[in-house]
Amino acid sequence: MTDDQQQCDPYSENLAELALGILTGRARAATLAHVDSCAHCAEELEQLSRAADAVVSVAPELEPTVGFEVRLFNRMGLGDGPVPVPALDQGRRGPFRLVAGAPRWALASAAAVVALLVGLSIGWSIGSPSGSAHPTEAVAAVATAALKEHGNTVGTVATYGGATPWVVMTLDDSSAYGTLTCEVVTDNGVTHRIGTFSATYGHAAWDAPLKVAPQDVRKAEVVSANGTVIATASLS
Amino acid sequence: MIDSGSTDEALLAGMAVGDQAAAVVFVRRYQRRVFGLAYSMTNDASVSEEVAQEALIRVWRHAPVFDHRRGSVTSWVLTITRNLTIDALRMRRAVPTDPDDFAASAMMSLEHNPEDAVLRGDVSDVVRAALAELPPEQRRAVILAAVYGRTALEISEEEGIPLGTAKTRIRTGLIRLRGAVEHSREIGEER
C-alpha cells in the first residue's frame, strides 16, 4: 500500500455517501477538504456522482393527467387557456405516445377533457416557434364522435383545426389491446394511417397530429395488429 | 431558432431570455420524465402533478442560473423533481413507494438489452440493467439513498441493520453502478 493510498483510506469510504448527498457533519467537511487536495479522490467522486445522478433517471416515463400542460402553462403565464398538445415537439414525443401502465385516472380524465373541449372556442396564446408573439387563435373542435365497437360506445374521437390540426382519441372498456393503428378515411375515400399506439386492458388515451384537413375526415378507425377494425367513429 | 430538435441547453438558454416557444418544447420533452419520477416515488397522482408542475416552473424560473459545467440538464431537472417529491412526502407524512417497487417499475421499463443500451449511450437503460444485476439488499440501499435521500443511519434504522452494513451496501452498490456508467461512457467516447 502506498502512502498516498493510506492517506486516502479514511476518506475514500465516504465518497459514495458524499456523491449521494447524504454525508453529513464532520465526515462531510473532512472528506470535502481531502477531495480538494487529492486528484484521485476528486476523480472518484466525479464518477460516483455521475452514477448517483443517473439513479433517478431510471424511473419510467408516465403521461401526466390530461390537462397538465394547460394548467402548467397558465401558471407559467404562457397561455390564457388550453394549449394544443402536439404542436411543437412531435419529433421527440412521437405520435400516439402512450405509456404502458398509465394509471386509470389519466384515461378517465382524458374523456372528461375531450368532452370539455368539444364545442368550446379555446384561446391559444402560446408563443410561436420563432419566439415572436403568437396571435390568439381560436381552436375549436371540428368534429367529435363516439367510437363504436359492435354498436357499443367504447371511446371518443375529436378532431381539431388551427395551425396544427390534431386528433384526440380515448378508448375505454373496449376489446382492444396491444399495438393498435389509428386510421382516418377522408371524403375522397382514401384511408390515412395516423399512427400506432398501445392499449392496456382496453383502455387508452392519446393525441396526434392529424396530417389531413380535419374537415375532410369522415371516419376514424382503430385497427388491430392483424388488420381487424376494432372500433369506428363517423365524423360528418 | 427553437424547435423540437433543439438541445436541452439551447432550450434553457431560450427560456432564460423568456422565449415561450423554448418553454413549450422543454415542457413537452420533460413532463413525462418529471411526472414519472414523482409518481414512481409517491404512487399518488395528485401529489405527482403538484410536484411535476412545481419542478417545471422552477426550471423555467431558474433557467438563467443553470450551469452546464455542474452536470447535465436531465440530472438538474430530475434532481429538482426528486427533492420536491421528498419535501412533499415529508410535508404530508406520506409513505413513499417501497424501494423494491420503485426498482421493479424502473426495470420493467428497460426496453432493450443492456448491450444495446450501452451502444446507444442510453444511461437510463444502462443503470436499469446494472440495478437489476445488484444483490437486492444493495439495490434497496442505493435507491433509498439516491432516490429518497436517506442517510446511512436512516437506512440502518429502517432496514434494521448495523450502520456499517448500511454504509457498505450503499458504497458497494454505487461503485458497481459507477462501473456500468463509466463503461458506457468509454464506449460512447470510442464511437
Q: What is the mean pLDDT of chain A?
A: 71
Interval A75-80 mean pLDDT: 74
Instruction: For A100-150, write each residue's pLDDT tens digit.
Output: 333 333 333 333 333 333 322 222 222 222 222 222 233 456 778 888 888
Confidence tier at B111 by pLDDT (50, 70, 90): low
Between these two residues, A158 and B131, which has the higher pLDDT value? B131
CA B130 – CA B107 distance, rounded (Å): 10
- Quote the pLDDT of residue B102: 94
A16-20, B14-18, B42-46: which range is least confident on average? Answer: B14-18
Q: Is the pLDDT of residue A207 over 80?
A: no
Contacts of A99 in chain B (CB under 8 A): 32, 36
Interval A207-225 mean pLDDT: 86
Q: Is the pLDDT of residue B14 over 60?
A: yes
Confidence tier at A203 by pLDDT (50, 70, 90): low
- Quote the pLDDT of residue B146: 96
- Quote the pLDDT of residue A79: 63
Q: Is the pLDDT of residue B11 over 80?
A: yes
Instruction: For B29-49, write each residue's pLDDT tens digit.
Output: 999 999 999 999 999 998 999
Interval A17-25 mean pLDDT: 91
Contact A102, A200 (CB under 8 A): yes
Instruction: For A47-76, write each residue's pLDDT tens digit.
Output: 999 999 999 999 999 999 878 888 898 888
Contacts of A126 in chain B (CB under 8 A): 20-21, 24
Please name the residues between 62 and 91 in chain B that touch chain A, using a CB distance below 8 Å.
71-72, 74-75, 78-79, 81-82
CB B19 to CB A68 under 8 A?
no
Between these two residues, B175 and A98, which has the higher pLDDT value? B175
Contact B138, B124 (CB under 8 A): no
Q: Which three cell numbers stand for residue B45?
A: 397522482
pTM of the model: 0.63
Between these two residues, A42 and B67, which has the higher pLDDT value? A42
| Nearest CA-CA distance, residue B73 and chain A, Å | 11
* Amino acid present at A107: L
pLDDT above 90 as % of chain A: 25
Looking at the partner chain, which of A22, A97, A103 has a beta carbon nearest the beta carbon of B151? A22
Please name the residues between 95 and 154 in chain B that touch chain A, using a CB distance below 8 Å.
102, 105-109, 123-124, 126-128, 131, 142-143, 145-147, 149-152
Between these two residues, A133 and B54, which has the higher pLDDT value? B54
Q: What is the ipTM of this complex?
A: 0.90
Sequence-distant contacts of A155-160: CB under 8 A, at least 24 apart: A155/A111, A155/A204, A155/A222, A155/A231, A155/A233, A156/A111, A156/A114, A156/A115, A156/A233, A157/A220, A157/A233, A157/A235, A158/A114, A158/A117, A158/A118, A159/A210, A159/A214, A159/A217, A159/A235, A160/A84, A160/A117, A160/A210, A160/A214
Could you tell me which residues are beta bridge partners of residue A147? A155
